[in-house]
Each structure stands twice: as C-alpha cells, then as structure tokens.
Amino acid sequence: MLDVAADLLALLHETTTEPRADDQLAALTLAVSADLPVLLWGEPGIGKTAALNRLAEALDLPLTTVIASVHEPSDFAGLPVVGDDPAEQGVPMAPPDWAVRLARTGRGLLFLDELSTAPPAVQAALLRVVLERRVGALRLPPGIRIVAAANPRSSAADGWELSPPLANRFVHLQWTHDHDVVVRGLGGTWPKATLPRLDPDRLPGAVTFARRTVCGLLTARPGLVHRLPATEARRGGPWPSPRSWEMALRLVAFATAADTSRDVLSLLVRGTVGDGPGLELLAAMDRMDLPDPETLLADPQAAVLPERGDLRQTVLDGVVEAVRRQPERSRWDAAWSLLVRALETGAPDLVVVPAATLAALRRDDWPVPSAIDRLSGAVAVARRAEPVAS
C-alpha cells in the first residue's frame, strides 16, 4: 500500500515550467547572476523556499539549505581543531560538513533560511560567510551563490531584527504571492526561472554607464554615500553605504547589459540602497538617457522626444536653458520648433512653462516666429510674447 502511496506522491511532485513575466523572479535571477547575496522577505508560507527550489532546478545548481536559526555560531565561524603543535602551526577553524560538500562540488546555491530567527551571535558569525564566502578556514569557490530568506519580525517565531552589518551585505527583495501564479502552479505549471541574457557587445558600455550614473549621483548628493537609518527596524533593511552602492553599481551594469526592464531594476536598487536613494538613482539614470539639448537645437525636425511626461518636461527645460546660456536668434527659433514638435506629439501643458520662459528671452531685434501662432491656441503663448514684441 505504501508503494501505491509513493506513486501518488511522485505524480503530485511532477510539475512543469513555462516562460512567464514575473518581476520578482527576474530580480532574483539577475542578482544571482551578478553574484550578490539576496535576502527574500515574506510572510511564512508565501513560497520563498519553493521559489528557491525551482530556481536551483532551472539553473541546474545543487541546492544546500541551512536553517540559520538552529545552528551555533561555530557552524559558520568554524570549530577550532588543535593539531600536534598549535604554538607553531596555529589552530585552524574547521568548516562544517555542508560547507565542505559545497566546496567539493564547486558550484551550487547556498540557501540560508530563517535568517530573522537567528540570534545576534549567529548573525555575527554569518558576516564572513555572506561577504567573503568564508566558512571557518574554508573559502567557498566562485561558483557558489548565496540566497537567504527571512520573515518579518512580527510574524517570525522568536524573531530578531537583522543586525545592520549583516543587512547591509544583502540585496533585499520583498517576496509576495501572485494569485495567478499560485493557482497555475498548483495546477502543475510554475514560472520558469532563467538567468538574464547578457549581450557581450554591451558589456563595456554597461560598465561605463553604471559608473557614470552612480558616481554622478553621489557627487551631486554626497549625503547619500552613507546614511545609517535612525531606527532599529530600518537598519535591518536596505540602506546606503559604500558597500551597498558598489552592489547597486553592479546591478545597474548587469541590468544594462541584459536590457532588463526598469521595474525589475527598481526592485533591485531600492532593495540595495533603500527606497529614497534608489529612486534618486533611477531618476539619474533617466536623465543620462535624455538627448543632448545642443543636438536637438542643431536639428529640431529630427528630434525624438521622450514619451514620459516628466522626462519630456526635463528635456524641454534643458533646451530653454541652453538658449538662455547662449542666446542667438537661430537657437531661439530652433527652440520654438522643438516646442511645436512637443505639442504635436505630447500633452500641451508640458510646453506652457518652457514657452513662457523662451518668450522672455527674446531680443528686441528678433521677429516673433510663426511657431508662436501654432502654439497660441493651446498655451496662449502669443499673448505672453506680444508685450515683448511691441
């Protein structure tokens, strides 16, 4: 009878995968590809462990699960082994068996589960494991990736807040369930986990772009380089430091080389340096992607303006500012042509402020361009410019 039960259980365990858009799974696989430790936050039973099992199977990586809360600090820092002559040879710290198996395999996924129920002494012992990949005297090979999971303190049995040094070593991802994914998965088909496809031709440019973006932001906002949160709870999550900015830079480079969606990159950078600094980094990336105002002024008819309203507004403001810095009639006329193009291809309200500012830059000997008449119906630019022209 147990043989028949085993057959039924085997059938229940048989599942397939399918390609499916899943931002949190894409964020996880990109961080794993970038060789950064990831920490999945979610309520108990949300599917964090199941997701890691599917990830390991899809990537053909052996999975080693270590329940952090049931281990002693020595299981991560190593056990002292006294040799024949400790005064001469020292006392090496012997690694546990799971670390030795990982090292022998040379590749794999180390899953540190129940991290938020590990006491402070265990968390301290995990610091070198997560950052330096060292377990006692053993260095884990480069083919090992680290993913951890934790429950919020409110729903964790005897939970602890993560220590700031340990929290700052992870990319934090909030893991939530998707109703459709769960229903389809229970029916036997789960989303397929795949590593991002990196374009070899884009690697140098991706690195340059990532460095320019992060360094440009931190040059303009030096207060973001290191900002330890004031509360204990927030210190256990993502926050900006030189270490986490280095991780964010790596994620931007990988996302750029893989042409990853902005939603996925948003999850990653906000999970690395925090919501506020992460959103500022994304805004800085958007500004770097904007066309040069001088290029637009040189050929207004060929201009391609951003679709997003906030980015289009930034471009138009930049064009007007370029004319203000170097006021010439030809540049002034070109700017009006760009405003007309913006009016024809986007929301009229976006040209109101740039048009008013541009009208105020007119010199006495510059005739009012016909473009103002084309704009007047939408933004009343002609009425604003007439006093200047008289």
**Are residues 172 and 79 part of one domain?**
yes
Strand order in the sheet with 171-174: 63-67, 107-113, 143-150, 38-41, 171-174
Domain count, the chain: 3
Residue 92 lies in a domain: yes
Measure the CA–CA gap between 266 and 5, rounded to whole angstroms.
46
The verdict on 139 and 280 lying in the same domain is no
Q: Are residues 315 and 279 in the same domain?
A: no
Residue 4 included in any domain: no
Per-residue pLDDT at 89: 59
| Among candidate residues 269, 288, 307, the one where a domain is terminated | 288
Does 109 share its domain with 20? yes
Is the Cβ–Cβ distance between 167 and 126 less than 8 Å? Answer: no
- In this structure, the answer to whether residues 40 and 134 fall within a common structural domain is yes
User: Could you tell me where the DSSP H helices lie in 300-328?
Assistant: 309-325
| Phi, psi at 92, each rounded to 5° | -70, 155
Look-up: residue for tokens 């290029």? 295
Which residues are CB-contacts of 215 (< 8 A; sequence separation ≥ 6)?
none
| Matching residue, tokens 């546990």 | 96
Domain boundary pick from 273, 288, 303: 288
Check residue 116 and give its pLDDT.
Answer: 86
d(CA 171, CA 27): 10
What pLDDT, on a 0 to 100 scale, did the predictor assign at position 383? 46
For 370, counting Cβ atoms within 10 Å of its Cβ (0-12 exposed, 13-18 middle, 19+ buried), the class is: exposed
Residue 389: what pLDDT? 44
Q: What is the pLDDT of residue 55?
A: 85
Indicate whether 3 belongs to any domain: no
Structure letter (DSSP) for residue 351: G
Pair type for strands 107-113 and 63-67: parallel
Residues 142 and 55 in one domain: yes
Residues 36 and 158 in one domain: yes
Query: Can you tell me the distance from the alpha carbon of 164 to that of 152, in angstroms, rounded to the nearest whole number?
Result: 15
Task: Please count the CA atoms within 13 angstroms of the CA of 141 that sit on its side-chain side.
Answer: 11
Domain assignment present for 6: no
Instruction: Single out the residue in 241, 262, 288 at which a domain terminates.
Output: 288
Q: Are 378 and 343 in contact (CB under 8 A)?
A: yes
pLDDT score at 2: 84
10-residue stretch averages of pLDDT, the chain, 390 residues long? 89 86 91 95 83 83 89 82 61 82 92 89 90 89 92 69 92 90 88 88 93 90 92 91 97 96 96 95 84 88 85 87 91 90 84 86 85 66 45
pLDDT at 48: 82
Give the per-residue pLDDT at 306. 86
Q: Are 252 and 269 in contact (CB under 8 A)?
A: yes
What CATH number is attached to the domain comprising 36?
3.40.50.300
Domain assignment present for 5: no
Alpha-carbon Rg of the chain, whole angstroms? 28
Q: What is the pLDDT of residue 378?
A: 59
User: Is residue 36 located within the same domain as residue 159?
Assistant: yes
Same domain, yes or no: 64 and 150:
yes
- Residue 307: which domain range? 293-389
pLDDT for res 91 = 63
